[in-house]
Each structure stands twice: as C-alpha cells, then as structure tokens.
Amino acid sequence: MSITATKMLARDWRGGELGVLLLALILAVGVVSGISAFATRLQSALVQESHRFLAADLVARSSRSMPQVWLEEADQRVIDRATTLTFPSMVFAGDEGMQLVSVKAVSDAYPLRGALTFSEQPFGVVLPATQGPAPGEVWLESRLFPLLDVSIGDEVSVGDASFKVTAAARTEPDQAASFYGYGPRLLMHYDDIPSTGVVQPGSRVEYRQLFAAQPETIADYKEWLESRLEDGQRLLDVSDGQPGIGSALKRAERFLLLAGSLGVVLAGVAIALAARRFSERHHDYVAIMKSLGATSGKVNRLYGTSLVLLGCAATVVGCFLGWSIQAAFFTVFGDQLPVQPGPAGIRPYAIGAATSLTCLLCFAWPPLRRLGQASPLRVLRRDTPAENRRTLGDYALGLAAVTLLMWGYSQDWQLTLAILAGLAITVALGLILALTLLRGGRLVGMRAGSIWRLALAGLQRRGTSNAMQVVIFAMAIMLLLVLVLVRTSLIDEWQTQLPEGTPNHFMLNIGPEDVQPVDQMLRKQSINSEALYPMIRGRIMAVNGIELPQTEDRTEDRRQRESNFTWSDTLPDGNKLYAGQWWEPNTEASLVSLEREFAERMGFDVGDQLSFVIGSQTLEATVSSLRELDWQTMRPNFFYVFPPRLLAPYPATFMTSFFLPSGDKAFLNEFVRSFPTVTVIEMDVVVEQIRTIVDQVSSAIELVLAIILATGSLVLVAGIQASVDARMHESAILRALGARRGLLLGGLFIEFAALGLFAGLLATVAAESSVYVFQEWVMDMRYSPTPSVWPLGIGLGMLLIAGLGVFNCRKVVSSPPVALLREL
C-alpha cells in the first residue's frame, strides 16, 4: 500500500492543518460564484423588466398593419404574438358626454410580458388582469368616468359602435414613457375595431405587433425581420424599453462586481497566507519523509495531487455555497421582485472553478512546490534553513493572478486598475511607514514599563515580518473599508433620490385660470406640491439658420421635433449648471437653456442660434447655458427653459407634481370632477416599485458585504496565524522562566494592537483614496470625504487584530510551557 494524496489530506485534515486553507478556497469559490450568479440573475431580471416595459420581447411598430407573412413566420417558429392599435378618437356617453381619448385596442394574448391592471371602480383597488376587455366591452381610465359622467355598466360609443363599460383601466406594461399630449385611455378589444369604422386608410394610428419567445428564437426571428423592414416599419427591443429602475440596478450590479473582485483579492491573499503557513508547518514533515526515502518528485507529486483534490473539494463545496447565497436571497426577496429572475446558468460556477484553479496554481502552489527541496538534514538539525523564501517570480505571479481574476470577473479595466492602484499605494506606503514606525518604537520601548518593553521589543525583533503583516492587514482592512464606504454612499444616494414623500402624481394641462384654484385645492387637502411650471408646446426647426431634417423617424436624434417649453427666472430645483451662464432675472434677452444630454444628441452647444415655431409664430433664441438634471427625481423636468418675458406672449398651460399617500386616492375623484380639463398621471405604482427594488437591492448589498467581511476576517486570521508559532515559542520560554500571565497577554495585546494601529491608519488613507477614484471614475458618483471612517478604520484595526492575535495565542497561558515547547 502506498501513501496517497487522499490519505495525506485526510491526515492533515485530522491534524487541523487544512482548516484555513480549505476555508479560504471555499470562500473564494463561494463568493465568486455566488455573486456572479446573483448578478446574472439580477441582470436577467433587468432584461425582463425591460421586456415588461415593451409588454413583449420584440415589437414591430408601424402605421399599417403588419404583413401576413410575418405573422405566419412567427407562428411557424412557435413565437407568441399579440397586436395593439393606438389612435386618438372621440368617445361619447349619453346626450352630452364627449371627450377626446387615446384608444388602445388589444388582442386576447396582450400583454405577452408584464401585467395589465384594472380596478372594479374608478381609482379603486388595483387588480391584475389576465387579459384586456372582452369584445363589446371597454375599460376607461379613472378620470374619464367623471369627465363623461358614466359609471361601471353604462354604455359609451366610439365611432359607429357602442360598448359596455366594465372596468377602470389602471396600468399597462407598455404605457408610453412620454405622457404629454395623450388623452385619457380607453381600452377595447382588437376585434371590435372594424365595427367602429374609425380606422380608415391614412388615419393617424400606430400598430404594434408584439412577439415573445426564448431569447435565441427571438434573436433569429429579429434577424429575419430586419431584412424585410420597409419605410415606416420599425423594430423595438430591450434597449427601447428603458425602465426607470435601470440605473439603480446597474449601479447595484457594479457594486456587486466590485464586491466580488475584492472578495477574490481577499480570498487570494488568504489562500496565499494559508498555503505559506501550511508549507512552513510541513517542512519537518517533508524532512522526515525524505529521511525515510521520499524523493523530491514523490513529495511534489503528493502535494500537487493533494492540492488538486483540495481544489476539487473546495470547488464543489464553494459552488454549493455560492448557489446557496444567491438562492437564499431570491427565496427571501424573490416574491417582492416585480419579475421572476431567470436561471443563472453554468457560467458563474465555471468562473468559481476557474478562480479556485488560478488561486491554487498562483498562490498556493509556489510555496508548496518548494517543499520538495526541503533538506532531510532538518531531522538532525532543526536550524537547517527552510526553503520558504519567496522570490520576485512569486510576487509577479500573484500580481498577474490578481489582475487576471479581477479583470476576468468584472470585465472592467477601470475597476481593476482602481483596485490595483489602491493596493499598490497600500503596499508601498505600508512598507515605508511600517518600517519607519517600527524602528521608532525601539527608542520609545527602551523607556517604557515592562509590558510595553516586551511588546515593543517583540515588534522590533520581528521588524521585517511585522512590516509584511502590517501591509497584509492594511490591505484587508482597506478593501473592507472601501466596500463599506461605497455601499453607504450608494444607499444614501438612492435614498436621497427617492426620499419619503417623493412626488408620485403629475398634473398636466392646468389652464392659467385654474392655477390658483388648483393650488388652493391642494393646500386645503394639505398636499405638498412642487412649483407650478408653465408648459408651452413648440417645435425646433433650425440651428444657426440651417434647417434640421424633417423626418418622423424617432431613431434620428437630430431632426425637427416637438417638445415642451417652460420658463423660469431661476435655475429649476434639482438642476445643475453644466456650461454657460444663467440669465439675470427679468431679462428681455432671447435666450434658452438646454438639458445637456439632449443638447449633445441634437448637436447643440452654448452660443448656437435656435429657431422655433410655437403655434404659427416663430421664435429665435441663443443657447445661453446647458443644465444637468436627474430624470428619476419625479419632478417636472424640461429640455428647454426660456426667460419668462420671452414666452409671455404665448398661450401656456401649467404642470406640477405632488405626493399623495395611497390612502388618499379618493381625492383624485373629487379633483377630476372639479377640474375636468386637468390631466392627472398616477406614478405611485412606479415610484413604489422603484423603492421596493432599491430596498431589495440594498438588502442584497448588505448580504454580500457580510460575506466579504467574513472573507476579510479570514485574511486577518490567516495573517495572524502566520506569526503565531514564533510568538508562542518566545512566550513559552518566557513563561518557563517565570513570566506572569498578565505580562505575556498584555505584551501580546500591545504588540498586536500596535500592528493593528499601523494597519488601520494605512488602510484608512488608502481606502479614502481608492473610494475617491472609484466613485468619481467608475461609479459616476460624487465623492465626499467620510470623517467617521478614520476612527472606525483605526479603532477596528486595533481591536480586531489585538483581539484575534491574543485569541490565537491564548494557548500560551493555558497550556504548560513544556507541552508548548515540545509541540513547537
């Protein structure tokens, strides 16, 4: 029977030699695969969310119905399909009720993605619908009920046909993002269109053919369709969905990538430390084996195979851990997600396995490989030098592995370089500072009391290895602080973006004569509203005397197009001046301020002369400034802002937004009755949805943070363990010579606390620098220093390292010195 790697592993496991190494490997695989699976599923939820906003996976849009051959091809490919037709029309009720509405006719299968909702009474409880109105029935938007003076069960007519009102239409998944210019919604069945007789050739209508199937099927079909598109036909896919929650999820994803990358680095360091200690403790083992006849090749084969076996075991357990982490999250929070996240697939686990392999090969194998060169003479002379010196090659290999893993994981050079830069600063500063401070300690130590002298002498005696330890501790603490800081500012920013009381309703088309009464009614109800913004519909025609293209192709950014104008003497709330100057109050100059991204898309800049048409009149204005604003604040936002005096001659309506608690929805009935011409848009469902998702993603981030903290602690434990033997040996001798328990523990506490102090200090400096780089360059967030992190970093460093250090060395006072000396 020969000695096998399995046997050796089993013996090492029993002897407690493998614990930290195996744990570090499992955590590396677990963190990487877990976060990766989590991000993949989150990404799939995001895509589904986008599909939900399209009500399908792919949409074909045209002013004519789609060619029959498209539909036959879709059926042949087993693709689900539905049709919608949208057009403006008058609706009549009784003798006097009539109103311009936006009619949407939908087929049975609508919607293919997302949910249609209705209520049994106007502004009543929102319920999900399995399909739209049945033939012969219509659903009306809540505010149409008072406008037409109808109730559920009454009849209304559209064109030549009459319909029974059976429900209030509440939300559609593909409600257009822009709600300006639309009348209230009337939802009917697609098959009823012919009977109304309102759709004639040349009518202003929009057909949408909706398709849904497996992603590959849709991709193939899309390719097939693209070559057959004619003028006026356009395909819409995920990129046109633009969900409002997109940016929150995108940032969360980047945070998760950051966390995962840091997790990989931390686990890599832990693996390297654990492997080094493992190899150090195995030098005598190998010396004995070699004295008994084991060759270098045999030793290498044994340890190599052991490592592979260890890697396999850690990969399996780590992947299971990763799977559990993401499954736990989706089990707890999945029900609250508006969509069901798809499967993560095999890729996250393959990444986990690759991480395990790379870590083993680059971090664990170099110290173990040198075990084969251990001298058998150590069995006679313990002082024979062990072959454990690291070479430059080892460090280069480690650095290459860290870079490769981070890049492979995040696929983001900026992020990888930001972290590497932070680590490089820590290492360089760390070595200089630690060596200087530790050398300084010697002078102080000679004048201090007994415990201090012991501790400081220890610090100085192990100067080089202590400096390395400080750097390792500082790296771990820095990475943890970076994560805590980014997480805090991310969550803070989300919360400030949508604080309690965020406006969740918009009011449009408020006539000048209604401004005051509307304001009074809101005040009477104690409803806080944003300022009332005037709104004038106009059209951009030319820039610097050159006409813009006339096209209705919405994919073309630079074209003549209609927009809403407003006026203001001051920079609107939540806007930030990006370029140019804001005008003086009461100016009579012909100026206009543009939203930055819109201006970029149109190719406009400060100083350009723009020509507009409002009604039948022309208007010229010079671009005086560009503004930046956040479209997700639920405030009225505008592309164009003019000085008040310039727009005064034109007829305007007003708009505002306000917060209405869900319990006060009945107020809307009363309001719409009092102001029938005012359009109220309910955004409460969307705001609530965004807030729910932000809460869920925040919880996910907390969970990931906890896992990374565990990995960081493992690095600290591995780092401390690396030096425990030498310290224990010295302490055991001191104890044998009669040193008190208090002296030894006190000395160790001070020694470790001093290492923690240096490490904490370094980590805090490096973390602040890294967070600055990361937030400004990678996350597109504003950086502000966090004073609270200084006491946290330094205090945490001291307490954690002192506590862990003393805990790991506790045996020195609890076991007889002779037993310790024999063991070490």
The residues that touch another protein, with contacts defined as CB under 8 A, are: 1-3, 7, 11-12, 14-17, 284-285, 288-298, 375-377, 379-381, 819, 823
* Smallest separation (angstroms) from another protein to the CB of 824: 11
Give whichever of 104 and 378 is closer to another protein, judged by the CB atom: 378
Backbone dihedral angles phi then psi of residue 259, each to the nearest 5 degrees: -60, -45
Q: CB-based burial of residue 320 (10 Å sphere; 0-12 exposed, 13-18 middle, 19+ buried)?
A: middle
* Smallest separation (angstroms) from another protein to the CB of 406: 36
Tokens of 594: 């543009």
Give whichever of 88 and 376 is closer to another protein, judged by the CB atom: 376
- The amino acid occupying position 458 is G
Q: Give CA–CA dist 38/458, Å, rounded.
A: 46
Alpha helix (H) residue ranges in 231-295: 238-241, 246-281, 283-291
* Smallest separation (angstroms) from another protein to the CB of 288: 5
3-class DSSP assignment, residue 391:
coil
Give whichever of 424 and 824 is closer to another protein, judged by the CB atom: 824
Tokens of 318: 């780590």
* Smallest separation (angstroms) from another protein to the CB of 360: 21
* Smallest separation (angstroms) from another protein to the CB of 387: 12
Listed in sequence order, the residues at least 6 apart from 810 whose beta carbon sits closer than 8 Å to its beta carbon are none
Q: Give CA–CA dist 131/138, Å, rounded.
A: 12
- The number of angstroms, rounded, from the C-alpha of 514 to the middle of its chain's C-alpha atoms is 43
Give whichever of 706 and 819 is closer to another protein, judged by the CB atom: 819
* Smallest separation (angstroms) from another protein to the CB of 735: 19
Give me the DSSP letters along 528-550: -BPPPEEEEEEEEEEETTEEPP-
* Smallest separation (angstroms) from another protein to the CB of 4: 8
CA distances from 589 to 210, 592, 622 (A): 49, 9, 9
Q: Give CA–CA dist 357/271, Å, rounded.
A: 12
Give whichever of 171 and 291 is closer to another protein, judged by the CB atom: 291
Give whichever of 176 and 824 is closer to another protein, judged by the CB atom: 824
* Smallest separation (angstroms) from another protein to the CB of 5: 12
Q: Give CA–CA dist 774/421, Å, rounded.
A: 11
Give me the DSSP letters along 469-531: HHHHHHHHHHHHHHHHHHHHHHHHHHHHHS-TT---EEEEEE-GGGHHHHHHHHHHTT--BPP
Give whichever of 376 and 445 is closer to another protein, judged by the CB atom: 376
Q: Give CA–CA dist 29/120, Å, rounded.
A: 52
The DSSP element (H or E) to which 674 belongs, if any, is helix 666-674
Give whichever of 227 and 814 is closer to another protein, judged by the CB atom: 814
Give whichever of 292 and 546 is closer to another protein, judged by the CB atom: 292
* Smallest separation (angstroms) from another protein to the CB of 775: 48
CA distances from 442 to 437, 527, 701, 742 (A): 9, 69, 44, 22
- The amino acid occupying position 141 is E
Give whichever of 1 and 392 is closer to another protein, judged by the CB atom: 1
Give whichever of 7 and 740 is closer to another protein, judged by the CB atom: 7
Backbone dihedral angles phi then psi of residue 451, each to the nearest 5 degrees: -60, -45
Listed in sequence order, the residues at least 6 apart from 106 whose beta carbon sits closer than 8 Å to its beta carbon are 82, 83, 84, 132, 133, 187, 188, 189, 190
* Smallest separation (angstroms) from another protein to the CB of 290: 6
β-sheet bridge partners, residue 59: 210, 236
By DSSP bridging, strand 116-119 and strand 161-171 are antiparallel
Q: Give CA–CA dist 682/175, Å, rounded.
A: 12
* Smallest separation (angstroms) from another protein to the CB of 280: 14
Place of tokens 């045996």: 811
Question: What's the full length of the chain, in residues?
Answer: 824
* Smallest separation (angstroms) from another protein to the CB of 804: 24
Place of tokens 């990358």: 261
Q: Is the dihedral of CA 469, 475, 478, 483 positive or negative?
A: negative
* Smallest separation (angstroms) from another protein to the CB of 464: 19
Helices then strands, counting H and E runs in the chain, come out as: 25, 22
Give whichever of 204 and 822 is closer to another protein, judged by the CB atom: 822
* Smallest separation (angstroms) from another protein to the CB of 332: 41
Give whichever of 120 and 823 is closer to another protein, judged by the CB atom: 823
Give whichever of 250 and 281 is closer to another protein, judged by the CB atom: 281
Give whichever of 12 and 192 is closer to another protein, judged by the CB atom: 12
* Smallest separation (angstroms) from another protein to the CB of 730: 20
* Smallest separation (angstroms) from another protein to the CB of 12: 6
Give whichever of 246 and 376 is closer to another protein, judged by the CB atom: 376
By DSSP bridging, strand 561-567 and strand 546-547 are unpaired
Give whichever of 429 and 821 is closer to another protein, judged by the CB atom: 821
Give me the DSSP letters along 288-354: HHHHTT--HHHHHHHHHHHHHHHHHHHHHHHHHHHHHHHHHHHHHHGGGSSS------SHHHHHHHH
* Smallest separation (angstroms) from another protein to the CB of 375: 8
